[in-house]
A and B are shown apart, each in its own frame.
Chain A
Amino acid sequence: EIVMTQSPATLSVSPGERATLSCRASQSVSSNLAWYQQKPGQAPRLLIYGASTRATGIPARFSGSGSGTEFTLTISSLQSEDFAVYYCQQYNNWPRFGQGTKLEIK
């Protein structure tokens, strides 16, 4: 069983600044990693798949990197609508999500 660990649990950042979210897998998942954004009362939205490919319609300020066991989601200049919970998910084998990082306004 692959365990996905996200850090930090909560990240406080000011609008316009950069946010960096981390996701670690307990064993290699190659590049089979996705990132999702979830706002209160809404379904998750796919941001990134294949560790670094932006999904359709996702702004260029969102970028993903990493492979193997260490992954990063970077939001280059935070907009008000970016404050939400972010989940990583591996799909190298049985899909599993991380526990989420809450991105809040500083």
Chain B
Amino acid sequence: QVQLVQSGAEVKKPGASVKVSCKASGYTFTSYGISWVRQAPGQGLEWMGWISAYNGNTNYAQKLQGRVTMTTDTSTSTAYMELRSLRSDDTAVYYCARSRPSVTTFLGYWGQGTLVTVSS
């Protein structure tokens, strides 16, 4: 069965960086993409971006351009999302989700989420 297992919770200071991992299993990793979605406490869902696990092509939300980098390691079927220059409003649960091989995708399978807390 398809599974996405994310890394554990993180606490970071403002200005620091965080890197969240998402290990996929149960399907051919390079046949799909991975999207990242975040959810601030008590708020709705925000799409952060998408990466093709086939060729590494990326598409990021405009508001995060320059601060976010998404990568994959096909040898371990793992996707990564790094967010830099963290601010308090980056505090959120970050989800990875399996996507179609295109940014225009719905999300069929989700990771369990990773809480990132940004606090001084």
Asked if B80 is at the interface (CB within 8 A of a chain A CB), the reply is no
Contact B46 A34 (CB under 8 A): no
Among the stretches A10-18, A20-28, A43-51, A71-79, the one at the interface with B is: A43-51
Contact B104 A97 (CB under 8 A): no
Contact B45 A97 (CB under 8 A): yes
Contact of B44 among A43, A45, A91, A100 (CB under 8 A): A100
Asked if B58 is at the interface (CB within 8 A of a chain A CB), the reply is no
Q: How far is the CB of B98 from chain A (nearest CB, A)?
A: 10
**Whole-angstrom CA separation of A95 from B95 in the bound complex:** 15
**Whole-angstrom CA separation of A98 from B47 in the bound complex:** 11
Asked if A83 is at the interface (CB within 8 A of a chain B CB), the reply is no
| Secondary structure call for the B interface | loop
B111: chain A residues within 8 A (beta carbon): 43
**Whole-angstrom CA separation of A94 from B103 in the bound complex:** 7
**Whole-angstrom CA separation of A1 from B108 in the bound complex:** 24
Q: How far is the CB of A106 from chain B (nearest CB, A)?
A: 23
A44: chain B residues within 8 A (beta carbon): 45, 95, 107, 110
Residues of A at the B interface (CB closer than 8 Å) are: 32, 34, 36, 43-46, 49, 55, 87, 89, 91-100
Other CB < 8 Å A-B pairs besides A34-B106, A46-B107, A94-B103, 20 of them?
A32-B104, A34-B107, A36-B107, A43-B95, A43-B110, A43-B112, A43-B113, A46-B108, A46-B109, A49-B106, A49-B108, A55-B108, A87-B45, A89-B45, A93-B104, A94-B47, A94-B61, A95-B35, A97-B44, A99-B44
Q: Can you identify 10 A-B contacts, CB atoms within 8 angstroms?
A: A34-B107, A36-B107, A44-B110, A46-B106, A46-B109, A49-B106, A89-B107, A95-B103, A97-B45, A100-B44
